[in-house]
Amino acid sequence: MSGLECSEVNISAIKNDGQKFRIDSEYYKKTYQKAYKTVMNLNYIKMEDVTNTLTDFHANGSYSTIARNFKLLDEENYAYMIRSTDLEKRDFEVDVKYIDEHAYHFLSKSKLYGGEVLINKIGTPGKTYIMPHLNRKSSLGMNLFMLSSKIDQISNEYIYAYLNSKIGKQIISRHINGAVPLTIDKDSINNLVIPVFSKHFNNVIKSGIKDSEILFQQSVQTYKLAEQLLLKKLNYDKLKKNESNVSIKNLSESFLDSGRLDPEYYEPRYDDLLNLIKENKYKRLNDIVDIRQSIEPGSMAYESEGIPFVRVSNLSKYEITPTSIFLNKEDFPVEDLKPKKDTILLSKDGSCGIAYKVDENMDIITSKAIIHLDITDSGVLPEYLALVLNSIITQMQAKRDAGGSVIKHWKIDEIKNILIPILSLDIQKELEENIKESYKLRNKSKEIVEYVTESFNIAIKSGEEKALEYIEKVK
């Protein structure tokens, strides 16, 4: 019996619990019960008494009505369709989805303006985010709940910080139900218990989360400045928008050279881009880097602990987000599969062309859909190469090569032949400084969220005064 966990619960406690008369053992795990009782011993309130809005995508009508008025778009359009993957990566430019103006106004019950609390319904149910202010019309994705508080003393930022604290995560995890897939529903969210502290504590939490967003927005703008400077140095503004989709090629210029016959590959805009690159010093990617491929172990090898296994869904140009999938260390001990400092990770399947420069040696293994680029040319800085790979200069080349498929696949031979413009080292260093500053601001933003959420754990366990002392000490 060693190692087994047992909880004894009275039937009266089950009846009074208010959560669908649940009797499954997961709901009564000791860690969940302890967290629940800790909050219940404080002044608390239920979520249903806090919110004036708790809605989702499906609140806009029946499935058939929504299907007639809504279509998810890959190309830029009237409004963003915000998904949990965008919120997780905090990247609202690469591989995002859109909806048209009609769909945006039809989905009136799930419009987003910034500052709302968003909660995953499925996949990683209960994972909580706060909607950034994007200065762009946005609509709620299909697998998210959106809520907003009606109480001054419990702001949206307060709810977000609480549900991201250790105790808050245990509280919300207790309300996750189902097997495969795990889910959380509206009743479960309405029954979440929230500790009530002073209005001053709320204001400190709210101020911290708002400071975090300001730094995040500054980080985004600093990175954009680097992108704009790159394009300016390459005279990208000279590239006129070519509306023609007609290109006349002889056999030696087309199939015999590229092996491609699909017309999209030969659109004039791609020729215009390549001609622009060739006006500058340039090299093919294969002449700048060594390319290493990783592995695809298959889902049967997935574990709940071990070496983190990173897939394209975890990759953005800013960071690698946490994964819930791991591999057994004994089965995958190979050190050369792990990214080293200054390695650039580049996605080649699905969302093609996402590049991330590794800041330090990482104890992770990436999927086969992510290749590793190790620079061999001393005239190219890692941050600069990652910037070029993430820019429109390379994204257009990726779109040309991988276009036409339902699931995008960028072949290694095509990646090797990407044209990379080579600016002077002085300019590369200038761009590198902007990128480093962007990452620095982004990390500061994350640090604020971390200490604000930790302050909730302290307030719940040791009191509000101790939590405020902690915030003053670390900020």
pLDDT at 130 over 80: yes
Pairing between β-strand 138-140 and β-strand 79-82 as defined by DSSP bridges: parallel
- Of 439, 443, 468, give the one whose Cα is nearest residue 454: 468
Instruction: Kindly indicate the confidence band of residue 68, based on its pLDDT and cuts at 50, 70 and 90.
Output: very high
Residues 401-436: tens digit of each pLDDT: 876 555 688 999 999 999 999 999 999 999 999 999
Pairing between β-strand 344-347 and β-strand 355-357 as defined by DSSP bridges: antiparallel
Compute the distance between CA of residue 150 and CA of residue 202 in angstroms, rounded to an integer.
14
The SS3 call for residue 134 is coil
Is CATH 3.30.70.100 what the domain over 11-196 is classified as, yes or no? no
Compute the distance between CA of residue 326 and CA of residue 121 in angstroms, rounded to an integer.
23
pLDDT score of 403: 64
Is residue 60 within 8 Å of 66, Cβ to Cβ?
A: yes
- Of 32, 38, 4, 7, give the one whose Cα is nearest residue 19: 32
* Single-letter residue type at 69: N
Q: What DSSP assignment string belongs to 38-95?
A: HHHTSSEEEGGGTEEEEEEGGGGS-HHHHHHH---BSS--SEEEE-HHHHHHT-SSSS
pLDDT score of 5: 53
Is residue 101 within 8 Å of 137, Cβ to Cβ?
A: no
Question: Token pair 């949990």 is at which residue?
Answer: 84
Instruction: Kindly indicate the confidence band of residue 17, based on its pLDDT and cuts at 50, 70 and 90.
Output: low
Instruction: Kindly indicate the confidence band of residue 111, based on its pLDDT and cuts at 50, 70 and 90.
Output: very high
Counting every residue written for the chain, the total comes to 475
Question: When comparing pLDDT for 34 and 450, which is higher?
Answer: 450
* Single-letter residue type at 221: Q
Instruction: Give percent helix, percent strand, percent coil of the chain, each to the nearest 5.
Output: 45, 15, 35
pLDDT score of 475: 82
Give percent above pLDDT 90 in the chain.
70
Chain mean pLDDT for the chain: 88
CA 97 to chain centre: 13
The SS3 call for residue 275 is helix
Q: How far is CA 285 from CA 253, 282, 299, 375, 417, in A?
A: 22, 9, 32, 9, 6
In our burial notation (b when 16+ CB lie closer than 10 A, e otherwise), range 23-43 reads eeeebbbeebbebbebbeeee
Compute the distance between CA of residue 319 and CA of residue 232 in angstroms, rounded to an integer.
26
Instruction: Kindly indicate the confidence band of residue 133, based on its pLDDT and cuts at 50, 70 and 90.
Output: very high
Compute the distance between CA of residue 195 and CA of residue 200 in angstroms, rounded to an integer.
14
Give percent above pLDDT 70 in the chain.
87
Domain ranges of the chain: 11-196, 197-225+428-475, 280-422
pLDDT at 329 over 90: no
Kindly report which listed range (22-36, 106-120, 173-187) carries the lowest average pLDDT score: 22-36
Kindly report which listed range (23-32, 259-268, 448-457) carries the lowest average pLDDT score: 259-268
Q: What DSSP assignment string belongs to 351-400?
A: STT-EEE-SS----EEBTTEEEEEE--TTS-HHHHHHHHHSHHHHHHHHH
Task: Work out the average pLDDT over 243-272.
Answer: 54
- Of 244, 232, 243, 245, give the one whose Cα is nearest residue 276: 232
Is residue 94 within 8 Å of 316, Cβ to Cβ?
A: yes
Residues 349-408: tens digit of each pLDDT: 988 999 999 999 999 999 999 999 999 999 999 999 999 999 999 999 998 887 655 568
Q: Which residues contact 310 (CB under 8 A, 6 or more apart)?
A: 320, 323, 364, 365, 366, 367, 370
pLDDT score of 389: 97
- Architecture of the domain defined by 280-422: Alpha-Beta Complex (3.90)
pLDDT score of 298: 87
Number of H helices, E strands in the chain: 16, 19
Is residue 383 within 8 Å of 431, Cβ to Cβ?
A: yes
Q: How far is CA 402 from CA 165, 277, 351, 361, 430, in A?
A: 42, 20, 10, 30, 32
Task: Work out the average pLDDT over 219-242.
Answer: 88
Task: Work out the average pLDDT over 442-456.
Answer: 96
The SS3 call for residue 458 is helix
Instruction: Provide the 8-state DSSP code for 427.
Output: H
